[in-house]
Structure 1
Amino acid sequence: MKRIITFAIGILFIVLSAVAGGQRVLFIGDSITDGNWGNSCGTAKPSSQRTLWDMNHIYGSGYMYLCATYYQGNYPEKEYEFLNRGISGNTLEDLEKRWEEDVIDMKPDVLSVLVGTNDIHFYLQSDKKKPFDFAAWEKRYRSLLDRSLQANPNLKIVLGAPFVANTGNMRKSADFAERDSLVRRCAEITERIAKDYKAVYLPFNKMFDEILKTIPTSKDTYWIWDGIHPTPAGHKRMADLWIECVKL
C-alpha cells in the first residue's frame, strides 16, 4: 500500500510540475514591444480583448517574438513561458493603469520593460507650458518596480533604454534634436534605475547609435524605418542584445 501511495504521489508531482512549466517571462511596453500580438490589427486593444488562444499570433512580430522563439525553440526541456503585454501608444502612466492586471496578476519570473518614447512624443505634441517632469517619471517607474518586487522578491528585472533615430519621416521633424535629447534623458534615468534595482540594463539607444554610424546602408530606413519603430533587421539586433545580456 505504501508503495502505491508513494507511486501515486510521484505521478502527481510529475503532473503538477508539467502544468507549472518553466520560467514565465513577461514583456511590457509600447508599440515596439506590441507588434500586433493577439490579433490587435494595429489597434491599442487592452490585453483582455486580444486573442489569447491563437498561438500563431500570440507574440506578434518583433524583438519579443524573436526572444521567445530562441528560448522555446532551443530549450524545449525548460518549458519557458513567454507573455507579450506591449500596447501601442502606451506611456509609463498607461503601464501604471494596467500594471496590476498585466504584470502582477501574471506572476512573472522575469519582467522586461521598454517604455519612454511615447512619454516624450505626447509631451512634444502638448503646449509644453512646463518642462517634462523627469522626477515624476522616475518616481512612477520605481513605484511600479517596487510593486512587482513586493509581489515577487525573486523577480528578475530587465529594463530597456528608449530610443529614437533621425531616419525616415523623422528627418522632416523640426523638433528632432529636442526629442532626441529628452529620450536620451529617459534612457539615462532608466539606466540609473536598473543599477539601483540590480536589474539587467539593455542600452538599445547606444546599440542603434553604433549600428547607424558603422553599418552604412543605401537607405537610412534599413534599421529604424520612421525614427521610432525598428524594421525586422532592427528587431533582430534588439533580440540579440536581449538574449546576450539577460541569459535566462
Structure 2
Amino acid sequence: MHINADDTLLFIGDSITDAGRDRTVATSLGDGYVHEIARTLRDRATAGPGPVSAPGRAPRIINKGLNGNRVYDLESRWTTDVTALRPTVVTVKIGINDTWRRYDSQLPSPVDEFEACLDRLLKGTTETLGARLVVITPFLLPVTPEQEDWFDDLLPRTDAVLRAARDNGAQVVRADLALRRAAQEREAAELAPDGVHPSPLGHRLIADAWLTEVDARTPAPRR
C-alpha cells in the first residue's frame, strides 16, 4: 500500500511529534519528522507525472503531537484529536515519556498497562475508522551515564509497542534501529542532543524510515 493524494495522514504522539508546532494553527506541522515527511510528499506531488493519484496535490497532513504526553494522555484526547478528524492513515509515536517520568518524577507506567492502553487505541481506531495504522518505536541515544539505566524500562516497553502493533495489523517504523545504526557513525548528541529529542538530522532519519516503510514508492532521500 502507498500514500495517495486523497489520504489524510494524522500523526499523534509526544514532543518528538509535536516538534514546536503552533497549536493555534491547524495546519502547523512543527519542524520535525512530520514536517520532513510532508515536504517529501509535497515535492513528489509537484514533480510532475508519477505515483501520486492526482499529480500536483499532496495528501492532507495533520500533526497532533503534544509535549510531555504519555500513552494515557493520548487516550484522553483520542476521540477529539483522532477519531473526529477521520484520517485514513494514523501514525502513533509514544513511549519515551512513559519511561522518562519513571526516572525523573518517580511516576511509573507499568509496561502491561501501557501495552493494554496502546492496544485499545489501535484496536478502536481500526474498528471505528478502518484507518491504516503505523507505529513508530520509541528510542533513546544515551548522552549521560544515567540514561543507560533507562533501557531497563524502555526495552520491554519497545517490545510491548511491537506486540500491540502486530496484534492490530499496524506497520512498524523502527526509529530505534535507524537511529542506533546512525549512531555507529556519528556522536549520539549529533542525532539527539539530550538523548531523546532529535536534532534536524535525527528527525530526517525518522522521516526517511517512515517513508521507506509506509510509502516505498518515495524516491531515495536527499542527503
Whether 2:6 is the aligned partner of 1:32: answer no
Q: Using the TM superposition, give the Cα deviation of residue 33 of structure 1 relative to its aligned residue in structure 2, in angstroms.
A: 0.5
What is the aligned counterpart of 2:158 among 187, 191, 205? Answer: 187
What is the alpha-carbon distance in structure 2 between the residues aligned to residue 245 and residue 222 of structure 1?
A: 24
Question: Unaligned 5+ residue runs, structure 2?
Answer: 47-54, 217-223
Is the 2:98–2:109 Cα contact (8 Å) retained in structure 1? no
Partner of 1:199: 170
Contact 1:165 1:180 in 2 (8 A): no
CA distance 1:127–1:222, shift in 2 (3 Å): closer
- The structural deviation recorded for 1:140 is 0.5
Give, in angstroms, the shift of residue 92 of structure 1.
0.4
1:6 — aligned with what? none
Letter in 1 for 2:112: A
Among 72, 93, 97, the alignment partner of 2:72 is 93
Counterpart residue type for residue 30 of structure 1? D
Q: Aligned residue pairs: how many?
A: 203
CA positional deviation for 1:106? 0.8
Q: Which residue of 2 aligns with 1:114?
A: 93
Q: Distance in 2 between matches of 1:94 and 1:236?
A: 26
CA distance in 2, matches of 1:216, 1:123: 28
| SS class of match (1:79) | coil
Q: In the alignment, which of 48, 51, 56 is matched to residue 25 of structure 2?
A: 51
Find the structure with the greater CA-based Rg: 1
- Percent of paired sites with the same residue: 26
The residue aligned with 2:111 is 134
Aligned residue among 102, 115, 120 for 1:123: 102
Give the deviation of 1:69 after TM superposition: 1.1
Q: Does structure 1 conserve the Cα–Cα contact (< 8 Å) formed by 2:16 and 2:198?
A: yes
Q: Which residue of 2 aligns with 1:165?
A: 141
Q: Which structure 1 segments of 5+ residues have no match?
A: 1-20, 39-46
Report the 3-state secondary structure (helix = DSSP H, G, I; strand = E; otherwise coil) of the residue aligned with 2:25: coil
Per-residue CA deviation, residues 133-158 of structure 1 (Å, 9 max, x unaligned), is 111111110111122112112x1100
8 Å CA contact retained: 1:162, 1:184: no
1:13-38 deviations in Å (ceiling 9; x for gaps): xxxxxxxx710000000000001112
Amino acid paired to 1:199: A
Using the size of structure 2 for normalisation, the TM-score is 0.85
2:33 aligned to which of 38, 63, 79? 63
Please, what TM-score do these two structures have when normalized by structure 1? 0.77
By how many angstroms is 1:132 displaced? 4.5
How far the C-alpha of 1:177 sits from its partner, in A, is: 2.8
CA RMSD of aligned residues (A): 1.8
Aligned-partner Cα distance in 2 for 1:96–1:166:
28
Structure 1 residues 216 and 127: CA distance shift in structure 2, 3 A: closer
Match of 1:11 in 2: none
